[in-house]
Amino acid sequence: MNIAYLDANFLIDWLIRKSPNLKKRARILLAKLLAQFDVLAISPLAVDESWRVIQKEMFPSKSYADGMLSSEVEIFTEHILNYSKIKIVQFQNPESGIKDALYRLKTFSLQPRDSFHLAMMRDNNITVMVSRDDGLIKRQSLLGISIFS
């Protein structure tokens, strides 16, 4: 099966960003991805990152603890969960997944979340990521992945 892993920054650009240019580019890329891949995978971590950005943009001085849940969080979540080609992936074996994330964190000097994304991709045999993270794009061959940006 041909699978691409969607990073949170792509999800945010596609569904949330106020910048018309980024949103347009993300939607064009999505059309290409739908033609090329059978499944678009996301992780709960990418959803969490997206929620944090939505909340930060809608209520910059508030937190979820203040009871300020943005309706955009719910709309975003429903859109993701109801999109037929999106599959939510997690670690098959959480213990080995966490060990792999730690290995990637130490070996490649990545941010912790990036280490988890890469470990989750590896655990699910996914070698393609959709992201505009410059650090990952520059090191994609070293990391053993391909990035659509």
- Cβ–Cβ under 8 Å, residues 116 and 8: no
pLDDT over 70 (residue 68): no
Give whole-number Cα distances, 142 to 9, 86, 107, 131, 138, in Å.
21, 27, 11, 16, 9
Domains, the chain, in order of start with CATH, read 3-148 (3.40.50.1010)
* Percent with pLDDT over 90 in the chain: 72
Match 């966490």 to its residue by tokens.
98
pTM to 2 decimal places: 0.90
Task: Calculate mean pLDDT across residues 4-24.
Answer: 88
Selected residue with higher pLDDT from 117 and 71: 117
Selected residue with higher pLDDT from 72 and 51: 51
Provide the token pair at 47: 């959803």
23: closest CA among 33, 13, 38? 13
∠ CA 27-29-32 to the nearest 5 degrees? Answer: 115
pLDDT in tens, 23-56: 899 999 999 999 999 999 999 999 999 988 888 8
